Amino acid sequence: MSQTKTNSVSYMHPNEHGYFGQFGGAYIPEMLHRNVEELRSRYLEIMHEPSFVAAFHQLLRDYVGRPSPLFLAERLSALHNTRIYLKREDLNHTGAHKINNAIGQVLLAQRLGKKRIIAETGAGQHGVATATVCALMGLECIVYMGEKDIERQAPNVARMQMLGAKVVAATSGSKTLKDATNEAIRDWINHPNDTHYVIGSVVGPHPYPDMVARFQSVISEETRWQLKEKTGSELPTHVIACVGGGSNAAGAFYHFLDEPAVQLIAVEAAGLGVYSGMSAATSQLGKPGILHGSKSLVMQTEDGQVVEPHSISAGLDYPGIGPLHAHLFESGRATFLSATDEEALQAAFEVTKLEGIIPALETAHAFAALKQMSFKANDVVVLCLSGRGDKDLATYMHAMQKND
């Protein structure tokens, strides 16, 4: 019964039905068909329109501040006896990679004639990014956020509200990202005409995983020429990124997916330990299943109920991964590692002291994975610094007090 036909040699594009290997597709109720079909039939055409490309790139440059720097982290490199470059998505306007996708999708929504924008958010970074772009373009914005995340990411809730967005608490299930996504999808079902749903990661029904990866691919597009300038070669030996749904990883990997010489390393949140029962390491714990409209790896019980994951970082606290990543995992194209809450915290403090950069808790997982790997002195390692840690200061302060 499994659909293991791989249709193309490229990892970059799904087949016409949205499958990356056996993962993907669009498992949506009929009530969403029109919205999703409208998007599916038009996203590529719109994304290729010269006026769209121009508007997107102008905003990325003048509003977001792209290209984001590629920074050689010398003291961190010395520690690992190699060369580590940080792709500074933390310096983007609003503090994370999420804005790349939010701008792309809101521009696209405008071209589809949509007046109302909805989004889900975990850490609040995607919600802030979407609320920001909606403020910029004068669009109504509603952000669904798990009740638990509203508590632990209070600064971002305040930012969204100041930006004019309505933040709606998701009170069902685990009250985190998964449930916020359910609520956003329900909203979309109830607003079949005027609303665009800006999904914040490479998850959801086709065409979202492909569309979001394309908007985020600017990360690796820039990395290639920046590396060429700095090292003489466009290709690194390793690209490392954290994975919640997988959008910063998809963007950081994208233009290296079909370069087999480049090792791709995805880092998931192990919570209190992969097998502790309090984890979000989907590739290790998940089985093929269907969540939020696509077939992918899903953390679930034997009976197929989706489990409530755990991570200290709200942005990684999700029981699935995007279908592209499930395919990269299954095919062995990417290596999947994980870092615990504790390891992520330690790594955040370490990189802050070494480089003067306070990373987001999500990104801290990618830093923590450095310790699990061994590098050669002339390796070129690119780590996607997906966001800054301002939103996580309360958690960091709490950890400091505990260690005093």
Partner 1 sequence: MTRIAQTFLNKPKQVLNVYCTAGYPQLNSTLTVMQALQQYGADLIELGMPYSDPLADGPVIQQSSSVALQNGMSIKVLFEQLKDCRKTIHIPIILMGYMNPILQYGFEAFCKKAAEVGVDGLILPDLPEYEFENMYGAVIKKYQLDFIFLITPETSEERIRKMDALSSGFLYAVSSSATTGKDKNFNEVNTYLQRLQAMQLKNPIMVGFGVKDKSTFTTACTYSNGAIIGSAYIQALGSSTDIAATTQQFLENILK
Ligand X SMILES: Cc1ncc(COP(=O)(O)O)c(C=O)c1O
Site map 72..111 versus ligand X, x via CB under 6 A = ------------------------x---------------
Q: And the tokens for 320?
A: 């699935």
**Of the residues 185, 270, 360, 385, which one makes contact with partner 1 according to CB under 8 A:** 185
- Rule CB under 8 A: is residue 289 a binding residue for partner 1? yes
Cα distance between residue 91 and residue 363, in whole Å: 13
Q: Please list, in sequence order, all residues whose beta carbon lies within 8 angstroms of the beta carbon of residue 303, skipping any fewer than 6 positions away.
A: none
What's the closest the beta carbon of residue 125 comes to ligand X, in angstroms? Answer: 3
In the sheet where 116-121 sits, what is the strand order? 166-170, 140-146, 116-121, 195-198
- Rule CB under 8 A: is residue 302 a binding residue for partner 1? yes
Nearer Cβ to partner 1, position 292 or 388? 292
Cα distance between residue 341 and residue 344, in whole Å: 5
Q: Please list, in sequence order, all residues whose beta carbon lies within 8 angstroms of the beta carbon of residue 241, skipping any fewer than 6 positions away.
A: 248, 249, 252, 253, 265, 266, 267, 366, 383, 384, 386
**β pairing state of 195-198 and 116-121:** parallel
Nearer Cβ to ligand X, position 117 or 321? 321
290 binds, among ligand X, partner 1, none (CB under 5 to 8 A by kind): partner 1
Q: Write the secondary structure of 150-172 as one string of H (helix), E (strand) and C (coil).
A: HHHCHHHHHHHHHCCCEEEEECC
**Of the residues 4, 190, 401, 403, which one makes contact with partner 1 according to CB under 8 A:** 190
CB neighbourhood size of 33 (10 A): 14
- Rule CB under 8 A: is residue 5 a binding residue for partner 1? no
- Rule CB under 8 A: is residue 192 a binding residue for partner 1? yes
Nearer Cβ to ligand X, position 312 or 379? 312
**Of the residues 22, 132, 300, 386, which one makes contact with partner 1 according to CB under 8 A:** 300
Nearer Cβ to partner 1, position 164 or 288? 288
Is 123 within 8 Å of 364 (Cβ atoms)?
Answer: no
How far the first Cα of the chain sits from its last, in Å, is 56
Determine whether 98 is an active site residue: yes
27 binds, among partner 1, ligand X, none (CB under 5 to 8 A by kind): partner 1
Number of H helices, E strands in the chain: 16, 14
246 binds, among ligand X, partner 1, none (CB under 5 to 8 A by kind): ligand X
**Of the residues 234, 288, 349, 371, which one makes contact with partner 1 according to CB under 8 A:** 288
CB neighbourhood size of 158 (10 A): 13
Contact positions with ligand X (CB under 6 A) in 194-213: 201
Residues found near ligand X in the complex (CB under 6 A) = 96, 122-123, 125-126, 201, 242-249, 315-316, 360, 362-363, 386-387
Residues found near partner 1 in the complex (CB under 8 A) = 1, 3, 17, 25-31, 33-34, 172-173, 178, 182, 185-186, 189-190, 192, 287-293, 298, 300, 302-306
Q: Any idea which residues carry the catalytic annotation? A: 98, 120, 386
